[in-house]
Structure 1
């Protein structure tokens, strides 16, 4: 149990490979130090909480609020795996950081509410730490206000019982929270550089996150954004766990 693992929730292999590299680079880890596991094709191993000391969960074109009858078998298996990870992390058996799509699965699995009422446009958005965020071991060293990248169709309406709100903004009130001392979740993407995010935008250009003709305008805003703070969360996670 010496390495961390990136858990892939993206069916698009190219986007998944790029997301892994973004996480690995932001965490300053070698390939030996950050393993990869594809949850779209393989369920979470039964021994995950003893095999790895911690896990980071990437984004996905899936939505936890998709009607159950429209979900594929792969999505249902993936969400069951992430729900088990959330339970294990909340119980302190493994450290986990859920991002974007992952926060929705963790929120629902732990008894919170996810809604389509808080989507955010693709691109940079302001994020502010709460008082608890400013005192948090992972978030506390960040600037109290910073810019992060978002692209999502759903958000947390009600925190899971016992969750501590760490970051917020006006468009999506729950930007980050912690459960216990080993489960973290962010609505924003902490891992990509601006360049990596624009490449991801190209993959999902027709995915309903933004109007395809607006790609160049949004990409310019992304590339101009200062994104110094979000990767620091990942470096802190890799160091702490």
Structure 2
């Protein structure tokens, strides 16, 4: 993809651990011709004052809470106003979606009964969710979180769950929040399962063997939808800039 001032080819990718990767999402974007600019504000990387040189921004997940008091996290939540103000595509995944909800004035909190989602769970796409791109919204997705949020004021619900209702939403024309993890590959899943055994002992978590069984059943649909969604998400902005 040839970059121009009006249609840059870089994607700003925000990660929260030293060895985190953008997984499937990163590979799909690179295959679509985009360059990834990886930033880790938690470890001192700055975030840009403007999105002028970027086609879009993605904030991924992490083990911290959107309610934590660290200065870097508060600055990152505030920074989300940059792509929103400039009407640039923004995608928040898990923690990134919760940060978007916090930026929009919504609360983020644990389940009242202490439930978590770790593994594959059914969600229920809305009519707007099914209309999002030319690939049907996946109805079983990979989750790894202990907190959730209500739909921010002015946002459009794209998919809802049973224990954590807000699973996907759109705010404005180009900002999206996904509570689930479309970026997860089998290697990422293995790493999380090995390093986070406490999460698997919490209420509502799926046992390890179910993660692998359900990956075989559902991952191909998530992969196909992810590719179609990313193309639509970026194309919305490219059409405006052209």
TM class by shorter chain equals: 0.7 to 0.9
Distance in 2 (CA, whole Å) between partners of 1:39 and 1:29 is 26
Rate the CA distance shift 1:51–1:194 in 2: closer, same or farther, 3 A: same
- Alignment root-mean-square deviation, CA: 2.6
SS of the equivalent of 2:184 reads coil
Structure 1: gaps of 5 or more residues: none
Query: Which residue of the partner structure matches residue 92 of structure 2?
Result: 98
Q: Paired residue for 2:13? A: 6
Change beyond 3 A, Cα 1:27–1:236: farther
Secondary structure of 2:25's partner? helix
Any idea what SS the aligned residue of 2:218 has? coil
Change (3 A) 1:234 1:90: same
Q: Which residue of 1 aligns with 2:106?
A: 112
2:134 match: secondary structure: coil
Listed as ranges, the gaps of 5+ residues in structure 2 are: 1-7, 238-242
Q: Give the number of aligned pairs.
A: 221
Q: Deviations over 1:140-184 (max 9, x none)?
A: 433255221001010012x22211111112121100111111110
Deviations 1:116-139 (A, max 9, x none): 12753211111221122233xxx3
Contact 2:66/2:73 (CA < 8 Å) preserved in 1? no
Other-structure match for 2:196 = 205
Which residue of the partner structure matches residue 63 of structure 2?
Answer: 61
Aligned residue runs from structure 1 range 141-180, under 5 A: 141-144=134-137, 146-157=139-150, 159-180=151-172
Aligned equivalent of 1:50, options 49, 52, 59: 52
Query: Structure 2: how far apart are the matches of 1:47 and 1:4?
Result: 15
Q: Any residues of structure 2 matched to 1:226-241 within 5 Å, and which?
A: 226-227=218-219, 228-229=221-222, 230-232=225-227, 233-241=229-237
Distance in 2 of aligned mates of 1:190 and 1:239? 19
Matched, 1:37 2:39: yes
TM-score, normalised via structure 1 length: 0.79
| Map 1:23-34 → 2, pairs under 5 A | 23-29=25-31, 33-34=35-36
CA distance in 1, matches of 2:217, 2:199: 19
From 166, 171, 185, the counterpart of 2:177: 185
Q: Is the 8 A contact 1:178 1:184 kept in 2?
A: yes
TM-score by length of 2: 0.79
